[in-house]
């Protein structure tokens, strides 16, 4: 099922919840993955950039879970997407990293609140993943330079794939039944080695 909408819009999230309830009834797993990445130097970041990123990445994630929580089945797993940027300082990521750190904290707090209903909340923390977002948001030269630096800094010397993130999210949502409030790094060892 696909529902087009803006995660920062509460009416759009209401429409999503209504459609899910009508077509599925309950949810066994919720992967909250919508987000944007704005790489901007601290001194060039505008209020509009800050507000947009937090509206989509933080408010959108929070209210996606809030609106869909009544539909989560006992034993359901919720997985939020954070980023290695919330644990390692990276140039031009101050707002992005702050938003992802908020999601990390949200996974802990929501787990505490939802565990009495048998619902676990965890986070998957991708490192450099080949999603195409860099090519869409940077000049070709800047994207190539950024990719080369990320590969050079990564212990596995490569980008991860969306499939590797999806498999980690599925593990947290379904198989990690004794795991709550955790953040699982899918980053080629970048935050551990």
**Distance between CA 168 and CA 14 in Å, rounded?**
28
Q: What is the pLDDT of residue 164?
A: 98
In 3D space, the residue among 183, 185, 34 whose CA is nearest the CA of residue 108 turns out to be 183
User: Is residue 75 pLDDT above 80, yes or no?
Assistant: yes
User: By mean pLDDT, which of 67-71, 92-96, 130-134, 184-188 is the weakest?
Assistant: 130-134
| 90 and 131 Cβ atoms separated by less than 8 Å | no
Beta bridge partners, 32, equal: 80
Q: Which residue has the tokens 């990390």?
A: 104
Looking at every residue in the chain, the average pLDDT score rounds to 95
Residues 28-46: what's their mean pLDDT? 94
Q: What is the pLDDT of residue 138?
A: 80
Residues 81-96: what's their mean pLDDT? 94
Supply the DSSP symbol for 155: T
User: Is residue 69 pLDDT above 80, yes or no?
Assistant: yes
User: Is residue 118 pLDDT above 90, yes or no?
Assistant: yes
DSSP run (H or E) holding 164? helix 162-170
Structure tokens that stand for 95 in this block:
């707002």
Name the CATH topology of 10-186: Rossmann fold (3.40.50)
DSSP run (H or E) holding 50? helix 47-54
Enzyme catalytic residues: 96, 100
């Amino acid at each position: 099922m696909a529902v087009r909408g803006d995660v920062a819009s509460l009416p759009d999230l209401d429409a999503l919840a209504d459609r899910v309830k009508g077509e599925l009834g309950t949810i066994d797993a919720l992967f909250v993955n919508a987000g944007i990445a704005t790489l901007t130097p601290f001194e060039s970041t505008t209020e509009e950039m800050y507000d947009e990123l937090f509206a989509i990445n933080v408010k959108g994630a929070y209210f996606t879970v809030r609106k869909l929580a009544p539909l989560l089945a006992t034993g359901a797993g919720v997985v939020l997407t954070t980023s290695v940027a919330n644990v390692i300082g990276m140039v031009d990521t101050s707002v992005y990293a702050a938003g992802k750190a908020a999601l990390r904290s949200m996974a802990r707090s929501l787990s505490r609140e939802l565990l009495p209903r048998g619902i676990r909340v965890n986070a998957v923390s991708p490192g450099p993943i080949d999603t195409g977002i860099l090519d869409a948001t940077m000049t070709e030269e800047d994207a190539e330079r950024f990719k080369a630096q990320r590969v050079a800094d990564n212990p596995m010397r490569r980008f991860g794939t969306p499939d590797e993130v999806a498999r980690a999210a599925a593990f947290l949502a379904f198989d990690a039944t004794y795991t709550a409030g955790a953040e699982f790094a899918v980053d080629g060892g970048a935050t551990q080695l």
